[in-house]
Amino acid sequence: MTRPRDNILRLDAYAPGEQPAAGTRVVKLNTNESPYPPSPKAMDAIASVGTEALRIYPSPTAQPFREAAARVHGLSADQLIATNGGDELLRLILTCYCKPAGHAGQGGIGVTDPTYSLYPVLASIHDTAVTAVERGDGFSLPGGTAKRWNEAGCAVGFIVNPHAPTGRIETPDTLRQLADEFRGLLVIDEAYVDFAEGDAAELIREGRDNVLLLRSLSKGYGLAGLRFGYGLSHADNIAALDKARDSYNTDAVSQAAAVAALDDRAYAEGCWAKVIAERGRMTSELRQRSFEVPDSHTNFVLATAPGTGAPDNTAAKHAHAIYHGLKERGILVRYFNAPRLDDKLRITIGTPEQNTALLDALDELL
């Protein structure tokens, strides 16, 4: 039997948050989906996809979507690529820019730890090196990040901003400085930017050729099931990615829904405002229950469990116990068994009712 390559055999595959079977009654606050349905206009667009649109191939580049998104961001359509979820864009970036480990001149990826756990998985799949710079106090972006990535010869550096899993945010000026210093392609993963004030699109509008922004319809538009994301960058980078993608990487149904969702910005903004209001309430309610909760600029909070004081019952064990206690009560949150995160819970902001159910369950548990 032909064996897969060694790096694939060795691979620890990406571990998604639990997705309970359809019809299971749970309060699902573990994978940062929107608690609100997609725009009714997106649902209408899906219903209106005719037999003819399914008989023929879709627009290979999702051209109507590129044009709609270009208008939103003040860019031109050739500065945009549509992908099957933001995750496909990440894979394309590694395919186009990274080199296998051991290659002269290196060509791996740079990340800051902790980060989106898909990046190192994609690096393993592509057999390319990872240079991880530890985040500083309060998970701040360390000053020497670009220097470290340059020394390691990274071809691509990934910054999640606002940051997952902590929810903190860096200013466009900080990102601009990073882009100035870094010699590779700086990818700013803006999967959660809809819940923050402002974004880094000005770095693309300035005409920089070494910055790429990732956007997703999964979080901000209530369309995680659709699988639609996109990238913003200099037209030369987009042209390179465009050559390497599948010929028809987004389908006719998702293109129709994505255009309608983006065009109905008023609806999306209403959802963001509700999530942001509830994020404020959850932050203060959790703090009142002795959790440590930094201000978040995303649709989740990262809450450090209250320590119990006893040496054999650390905050880490406590966080894990709370995770289990919530699960027994039908409430899913995310627990990461990882350094610096194992005493914390990442809690997606739900509807007011879901959030209250979580708080009530915590009051029972604590």
Ligand X SMILES: *Cc1c(COP(=O)(O)O)cnc(C)c1O
Q: How far apart are CA 243 and CA 58, in angstroms?
A: 17
Which of 238/357 has CB closer to ligand X? 238
Binding to ligand X, residues 161-180 (CB under 6 A)? 164
Interface residue with ligand X among 33, 189, 199, 343 (CB under 6 A) is: 189
d(CA 245, CA 265): 28
Among 93, 224, 261, 333, binds ligand X (CB under 6 A): 224
Contact between residue 204 and residue 233 where contact means Cβ atoms under 8 Å apart: yes
**CA-to-CA separations, 119 to 109, 112, 157, 277, in angstroms, rounded:** 8, 11, 10, 31
Q: Identify which of residues 129 and 217 has a Cβ nearer to ligand X in the complex.
A: 217
Question: Does 30 contact ligand X by CB under 6 A?
Answer: no
Which range, of 72-80, 213-221, 241-249, 287-295, touches ligand X by CB under 6 A?
A: 213-221
Instruction: Sort 96 into a burial class: Cβ within 10 Å, 0-12 / 13-18 / 19+.
Output: middle
**Considering beta carbons, is residue 29 or 191 the nearer one to ligand X?**
191
Sole residue written with tokens 């948050």:
17
Q: Is 29 in the site for ligand X (CB under 6 A)?
A: no
Judged by CB under 6 A, does residue 87 bind ligand X? yes
350 binds ligand X (CB under 6 A): no
Whichever of 86 and 153 has its CB closer to ligand X, that residue is 86
**Does residue number 250 form part of the binding site for ligand X (CB under 6 A)?**
no
Other C-beta atoms closer than 10 Å to the C-beta of 101 total 16
Select from 58, 86, 107, 231 the one that contacts ligand X (CB under 6 A).
Answer: 86
Query: What part of residues 54-83 is at the interface with ligand X (CB under 6 A)?
Result: none
Q: How far is the CB of 141 from ligand X (least distance, A)?
A: 15
Q: Which is nearer to ligand X, 153 or 231 (CB)?
A: 231
Is residue 35 near ligand X by the rule CB under 6 A? no
Cα(54)–Cα(338) distance, integer angstroms: 45
- Interface region with ligand X, contact rule CB under 6 A, candidates 14-22, 211-219, 262-270, 338-346: 211-219
Interface with ligand X, residue 216, by CB under 6 A = yes
For residues 113 and 285, which CB has a smaller minimum distance to ligand X in the complex?
Answer: 113
Decide: is 333 part of the binding site for ligand X (CB under 6 A): no
Q: How far is the CB of 224 from ligand X (least distance, A)?
A: 6
Which residue, 122 or 357, is less far from ligand X as judged by CB?
122
Q: Which range in 2-10, 210-218, 238-246, 348-356 contacts ligand X by CB under 6 A?
A: 210-218
130 binds ligand X (CB under 6 A): no
Which residues within the stretch 132-161 sit at the binding site for ligand X (CB under 6 A)? Answer: 160
Q: Is the bond leading into 352 cis (omega within 30 degrees of zero)?
A: no
Token digits of residue 154: 């990274």
| Least separation in angstroms between CB 273 and ligand X | 20
CA 139, distance to chain mean position in Å, is 17
Q: Does 191 bind ligand X (CB under 6 A)?
A: yes
Rg (CA), the chain: 21
Query: Which residues lie near ligand X (CB under 6 A)?
Result: 85-87, 116, 160, 164, 189, 191, 214, 216, 218-219, 224, 229
